[in-house]
């Protein structure tokens, strides 16, 4: 297959590119700063004046849209929030423009999304059928992102959006920051510890995207979370056990709010989210439980 990826040089994009290469697919990475192309990877310039990526993308089978400023970088100032939101809208609008220009439309658009769309709760379990959406900044960003991506349907393109949980990897994502206190022997429960962490190994994220790409019955939202969500206190204890460190130094909520501002909601609130759509269609996680996921990451 010929597959175009936006955000292909990021955390998930790199893992996805490796997976596609192993499967023998040709990957087109849309980037502002193209590198030298290889036998199985072509770098295509986009989002720069004069760029016309559609000229190099005729005949692609799928587009995977991961582009957007990371929510893990920096404190959420007004400027940072604006960049997080606008970067996603701008990239998705360009994806739609490219699709409109192509003579042969891709069969599918897989768009990134996030479980932050769901209302924080310690009691509710969310599936893709849940419509109890939050109204904060992150949730509104995700809702607008999904709504915009849906416009690709007007070109006859199947659209599915993966609502990512907390993606775990050794060097990128949220885990390095969460594990750092334990490495320094000061790890412990964050706030009440009852908030849910719906996590997923980055390798399973890539596999889930490929699964949705190949499974024509998957449309609309699909939750990309392992079937083993943990409350924060138990998540921390498993990190401590894996790293052979103590779990004893509590972190009060007010300290995180003071340090991170609105961004603190990423660890102070959470949702218990399960991957109903993926499992109903037969997807099997390589890392279905937190113990095996952390063991692989820190092996």
Residue 251 pLDDT greater than 90, yes or no:
no
DSSP, res 272: E
pLDDT in tens, 189-236: 888 899 999 999 999 999 999 999 999 999 999 999 999 999 999 999
pLDDT in tens, 77-129: 888 899 999 999 999 999 999 999 999 999 999 999 999 999 999 999 999 99
Instruction: Report the Cα 26 to chain-centroid distance in Å.
Output: 22
pLDDT in tens, 259-279: 667 766 777 789 999 999 999
Integer Rg of the chain from CA = 19
**Cβ neighbourhood burial of 238 (10 Å; 0-12, 13-18, 19+):** middle
- Residues 184, 247: Cα–Cα separation, whole Å: 11
Domain encompassing residue 160: 2-297
The CATH number that applies at residue 64 is: 3.40.50.720
- pLDDT, residue 40, reads 92
Residue 166 pLDDT greater than 90, yes or no:
yes
Structural domains counted in the chain: 1
- pLDDT, residue 263, reads 66
- Residues 13, 22: Cα–Cα separation, whole Å: 14
List of E strands, 205-262: 220-224, 230-231
pTM: 0.94
Which residue bears the tokens 């599936």?
127
Q: Which residues pair with 273 in a beta bridge?
A: 126
């Amino acid at each position: 297959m010929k597959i175009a990826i936006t955000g292909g040089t990021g955390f998930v994009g790199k893992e996805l590119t490796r997976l596609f290469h192993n499967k023998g697919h040709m990957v087109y990475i849309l980037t502002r700063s193209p590198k030298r192309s290889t036998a199985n990877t072509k770098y295509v310039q986009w989002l720069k004046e004069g760029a016309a990526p559609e000229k190099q993308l005729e005949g692609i089978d799928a587009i995977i849209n991961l582009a957007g400023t990371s929510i893990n970088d920096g404190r959420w100032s007004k400027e940072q929030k604006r960049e997080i939101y606008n970067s996603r809208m701008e990239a998705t609008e360009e994806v739609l423009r490219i699709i409109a220009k192509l003579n042969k439309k891709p069969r599918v658009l897989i768009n990134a999304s996030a479980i932050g769309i769901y209302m924080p709760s310690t009691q509710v379990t969310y599936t893709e059928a849940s419509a109890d959406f939050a109204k904060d900044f992150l949730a509104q960003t995700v809702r607008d992102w999904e709504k915009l991506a849906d416009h690709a349907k007007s070109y006859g393109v199947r659209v599915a959006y993966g609502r990512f949980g907390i993606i775990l990897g050794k060097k990128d994502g949220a885990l390095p920051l969460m594990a750092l206190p334990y490495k320094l022997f000061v790890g412990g429960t964050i706030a009440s510890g009852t908030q849910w962490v719906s996590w997923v190994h980055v390798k399973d994220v890539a596999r889930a995207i490929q699964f949705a790409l190949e499974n024509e019955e998957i449309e609309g939202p699909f939750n990309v979370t392992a079937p083993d969500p943990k409350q924060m206190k138990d998540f921390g204890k498993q990190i401590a056990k894996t790293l052979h460190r103590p779990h004893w130094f509590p972190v009060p909520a007010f300290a995180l709010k003071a340090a991170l501002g609105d961004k603190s909601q990423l660890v102070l609130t959470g949702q218990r989210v399960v991957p109903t759509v993926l499992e109903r269609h037969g997807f099997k996680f390589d890392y279905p439980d937190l113990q095996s996921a952390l063991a692989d990451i820190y092996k």
